[in-house]
Structure formats: structure tokens, C-alpha cells
Amino acid sequence: MSGGNYASLLISVCALALAIYGVLERRRDVRRSEWLRLTAAIADLDALSFEQLKTPDGLNAGDFTNAVNSRREILSFHALALLPKFQKQVTSSELRVLAYALSRAGFPSEAERIWIRATTAAKSEGPTQVLFAHRGYAYFLYSGGRTDDGRAQMRQAIDAAGHDDDLLAKAVETLKFWAVEEAPGDFVDDLHSEAKSLAARIRAPRIRARVKEALDAPVGDALSPPPKREQSRTTTRFKINTARSQSGAQPDASPPTRRRPANPTPAR
């Protein structure tokens, strides 16, 4: 083969390499763009929970809630369309935001699948995220009248606490929230007793004092509001004006089943 042929071959190889690199780079750009769209949609869903705390002037609470839920619906399905491409990158907290938005927009089946996925993702993120994921899923189940399933999720949230003082404090907090979801009776008394027992295991004096103060407070008070990403509905029973967020399994290709929720009680 002459020198000219070698040069032509080398040029062809270089051109092919550049073409392949260009294709790969474009794919990376598309993936990067899709990832940014997904995270932006979830961030916007998270922001909607704060926006709903105050009705703008000129709108009644019902109209504003409908507008927020319509926005949630659009953003949620943008996120669902992109989610399968980023199975390992999405965190349980992001999934909780998405699941809560789906439940508020009236898509309980999709919300539950994302909740289940959030509890699975949380296992690799540590006990705090496990507690939040199961607690949030429990709120979702209670809001749908599935008391036994809600109790099972609450129990998994409590079991995640282990021996860490901060986690024990969150477990005590969870028991207090759990008691409010239940009808008054012996079971609620058992939850209060368990909360006191866990509080006694806390070693740090500062945390123990804070937990004791919360336990002695009226039922409407708590250590802190449930983290917004794990809440399932607006409630005035804790005098908390934040919305609960949540997440589950991967959506399938079947059409979503929609059920529009009733307007939540306006924040006071």
C-alpha cells in the first residue's frame, strides 16, 4: 500500500472517530438536559408545597388549590416520563416529593408505586431516610383509609431508629404523629407508652430534654413538623401548615387512573 493510501486510510479513521465522538457527545448532552429537566420538575413540585401555604389575594382557597394541583399534575407527569432513564441517580427524598405531588393531583396508583420505590431507595441512604420514607408512605396509606397497611409502615419507620439519639428522637416524634392518626383507645395509649420508653433510651441530655418537653406537650404539638417531603395531606390536627410529600415503584406504560382529591382544608 502506497503512502497516499495510508494517508487516506488515516484520514478516514480520524473522520470516523470524530463522527462517533460527536454522536456520543450529543447523547451525553441530551441525557444531561433530561436530567436537568427532571431535577427542575421535582424542585418545582417541592416549591408548590410552600406556595400552597398562602392563598394569593383575589383567589379563594379552593380555586388556588385547584390551580396548584393542576400544576402538580403537569410537572408530575413530566417527571414520570423522565424517571425510567435515571433509575440510580434519583434519591428517596426526590421520590417522596414526586409521590406526594401525584397523590395531591389525584393519581393514587402512581403515587403508591413511587412511594414503594422511595422506601426501597432509602435502604441504601441510611436509617434517617428509611424512617422518613416509611413514615411518609404511612401517611399516604392512612389518608386512603388503609389503616393496617399504614400501621405496618409506621412500625418499619420506628424500627429504623436503632440506638442513635437523633433517630430515637425522630422515632418518638413519629409515634406521636402516629397516635394522632388512630382512633382514641388502648392502642393510642400503647403508642404513648412506647414513645416514653424510647425517650428514656436517649443519652444526650439536650435531646432527651427536648423530647420530654414534646411528650408532655398537648397532642397538637410535636418535636417538629413532619418533614414536608413525607407528608400526605394538609392537616390542622398538629397545627402544622406544611404539606406532606412521598414516593413508590416505577410507573408502567398503562394509562394513569385519575382520582381528583377533595380540596384540602385551607391553612389557618
44: cell is 418545582
**Angle (deg, nearest 10), helices 127-143 and 147-159:** 170
170: cell is 425522630
pLDDT given for residue 55 in this prediction: 65
Q: Could you say which DSSP state residue 224 is in?
A: S
Cβ–Cβ < 8 Å for 264, 64:
no
Cβ–Cβ < 8 Å for 245, 101:
yes
Is 173 in a helix, a strand, or coil? Answer: helix
pLDDT in tens, 215-252: 877 654 445 444 444 543 333 222 223 333 333 333 33
pLDDT in tens, 165-206: 999 999 999 999 899 888 888 788 899 899 999 999 999 989
Q: Which of 8-17, 42-51, 132-141, 195-204 has the lowest mean pLDDT?
A: 8-17
Mean pLDDT of the chain: 76
Q: Look at phi and psi of residue 48 and say left if phi exceeds 0, alpha if psi is from -120 to 50, else beta.
A: alpha
Cβ–Cβ < 8 Å for 198, 161:
yes
pLDDT given for residue 251 in this prediction: 36
Q: Report how far residue 211's alpha carbon sits from residue 202's, in angstroms, rounded to the nearest whole number.
A: 9
Cβ–Cβ < 8 Å for 195, 238:
no
- Please determine, for residue 33, whether its predicted confidence score (pLDDT) is greater than 90: no
Neighbours of 187 (CB within 10 A): 12
pLDDT given for residue 43 in this prediction: 83
pLDDT given for residue 29 in this prediction: 66
DSSP per-residue letters across 31-67 = HHHHHHHHHHHHHHHHHHHHHTTSPPTT--HHHHHHH
Mean pLDDT value across residues 13-23: 74
pLDDT given for residue 9 in this prediction: 72
Mean pLDDT value across residues 155-160: 94
More confident residue, 123 or 241: 123
pLDDT given for residue 232 in this prediction: 38
List the helix and strand counts (H, then E) for the chain. 9, 0
Neighbours of 45 (CB within 10 A): 25
pLDDT given for residue 212 in this prediction: 86
More confident residue, 24 or 262: 24
Neighbours of 3 (CB within 10 A): 7
Mean pLDDT value across residues 94-106: 90
pLDDT given for residue 17 in this prediction: 76
Domains of the chain, start order:
3-230 (1.25.40)
Largest CA distance in the chain: 95
Strand-pair partners of 198 = none
pTM above 0.85, yes or no: no
pLDDT given for residue 3 in this prediction: 56
pLDDT given for residue 134 in this prediction: 96
pLDDT given for residue 217 in this prediction: 73
